[in-house]
Amino acid sequence: MHKIRVVIAKPGLDGHDRGAKVIARALRDAGMEVIYTGLRQTPEQIVAAALQEDADAIGLSILSGAHMHICPRVMELLREKGLQDVLVVVGGIIPDVDIPKLNEIGIKGIFLPGTPMQEIVDFLTRNVRSRVET
């Protein structure tokens, strides 16, 4: 069984990267291959990284409120590149009203402040594996 490969990205202008870095490290400690893009990535750059790294999943860290612009664009670009199998999860500050909208565009893993790291590890493991097997 190959190691799960995850791209962790910070889109938008925000520089608060504590969460992204802690999660990147937790996923790595859980045995995944983690590619951290660094700051201020456009959706185009994030999808290009996923393609180049042959990623199983993308984790977007967004705290600034720009998620309703960034997430749909990432999903659209993934479809264009034929990468719809890549699992996309989002962590950060997401108002309740936006959660169903993100679910609708195919983002099921939405992790709000206070989520245990293990829950994110488990979610990725379960959902990436089921995609690979089907």
Q: Which residues lie near another protein (CB under 8 A)?
A: 12-18, 21-22, 24-26, 28, 34, 36-40, 42, 64-70, 93, 95-97, 112-114, 116-118
Spatial separation of the C-alpha atoms in residues 28 and 71, rounded to whole Å: 24
**Nearest distance, CB of residue 134 and another protein, angstroms:** 31
**Nearest distance, CB of residue 85 and another protein, angstroms:** 25
**Nearest distance, CB of residue 40 and another protein, angstroms:** 7
Closer to another protein by CB, 31 or 116: give it: 116
Residues 6+ apart with CB under 8 A from 41: 9, 10, 11, 49
**Nearest distance, CB of residue 103 and another protein, angstroms:** 18
- For residue 119, CA distances in Å to 23, 30, 38, 75 come to 11, 12, 23, 23
Closer to another protein by CB, 34 or 84: give it: 34
Residues 6+ apart with CB under 8 A from 107: 71, 75, 88, 89, 90
